Chains A and B, each alone.
Chain A
């Protein structure tokens, strides 16, 4: 387990050095999208529901946070937290309807709702600026400290994202998380054991959307503006791709996926305008080789090695090892 500790220290070091390895804007994008993707995975990986409308909640968080900062002078990170709450509140009525549907119907309903939100934001020009989005968002910390220096903003944001990711981790590794896994594994049996499955799915969705809204709330302050594109369905697709690429149902997979997609986009877009196509092709190739995403597949490999090692060693008969797929 020393290896694990070292791994965390290395990761911490990498996160702290990130603004020196890539430019600060990209480093911040990696942080926010990592949180967004991890939040989506609560629903996608751990609950087994494919949301194709998470842009709406990321966007709702971004618009709410940005507008509060711009018009209400609400400081960071209070505005981001408020954005999270707005996204969470918005998700209740929408997902209440969606969780009653399964499989592709769930994905379609979430997509339809996200499109609806897109049109509302586009039409409500007085509040949202329509196609122009919300611009000139101030970046001020609680207590009045000016954060226009992006490096400083990055280091203020690191602990916020860390807390957000920890909350995601806590949720899926709680008694509640256990029920989500049960629902994903065998919904009928979960119902027959007395779990009101729809209620659990709704709570899972609302938590996922709230945390996505938090990511959006950070994103808008980092960029100092939010564009209508943020709520476009392409955003929903991108975050799903990040989770699949990095590995569903892994602690760091979604974050790895987010970093990879953003880095690829950054590198490829200097070479070609068709970076979207190139990213897509790489996505397909990676998924074909790494069925469970990069982190998921690596984990599986390591586990089977560990298993082989344990098989050869004498084993205690009823050791209760946690099992994950």
Chain B
């Protein structure tokens, strides 16, 4: 049984069909790469899977549960979390605060407006461990906006990992990184994939070859002008 499955998934942006007929099957415990040219709709697919966009047609099933049209926050709490191709962090908050926010979301603490924020220090040990795993331990107290590009990419992944999801959607985790950083990210993905399913969008074929168990090609079918998902 696949953990994640889409059936005939399609979305229109004001009449422009960005995705059509996507049938994706992701088996439990694998690293599943999704590749395709720019504009093929890979990020759009992630936006649909994570609930940031609603599909025009089709269904999404996660662990046999229909999650089509669910809001993003509810999908996260099922254990399906995603990272962003364009770094999406909280720039004015410290790295620790960034990670604390991710850890806090699994608890009702967010509603407790009568408690001092120091109660969030209970997540500090976790947060430091996570920051260490992506090589950011030294910068824990810095505002996120002061990080270098590569460090911001690492924080992007750390935020998603901090949610401790059962399934991870990583959107071009190595985009724009140098060789050294890439091998670090590859090692990290390999390590986290031991206990969870990973779907990986990647342009770097070396990374895809090194990591993936399965590959799906997403591309526009030129003759009919119709995009389609192809599974190998």
Contacts and interface: CB of A to CB of B under 8 A. Distances in A.
Contacts of A192: 50, 52, 72, 76, 81-82, 84, 88
B102 interface: yes
A79 B11 CA distance: 54
Interface residues of B, number: 46
Given A176-B111, A195-B105, A318-B141, 5 more contacts: A176-B113, A191-B52, A196-B73, A321-B94, A323-B94
Given A175-B119, A186-B90, A189-B159, A194 B112 contact: no
A13 B28 CA distance: 66
Nearest to B143: A323
Contacts, number: 117
B17 interface: no
Contacts of B96: 320
Interface string B70-97: 0111101100011010001111111011
Contact of B138 (A177, A178, A318): A318
B20 interface: no
Interface residues of A, number: 35
B109 interface: yes
A186 B92 CA distance: 10
Contacts of A175: 104, 109-110, 112-113, 115, 117, 119-120
6 contacts: A185-B93, A188-B52, A192-B88, A193-B76, A320-B140, A322-B94
B225 interface: no
B88 A195 contact: no
Given A173-B117, A200-B110, A193 B102 contact: yes
Main secondary structure of the interface of A (DSSP, over half): helix
Contacts of A64: none
Contact of B116 (A174, A317, A322): A174
Contacts of A174: 112-117
A185 B90 contact: yes
A319 interface: yes
7 tightest Cβ-Cβ pairs between the two chains A and B: A194-B76, A176-B113, A194-B105, A320-B141, A175-B109, A191-B72, A185-B90
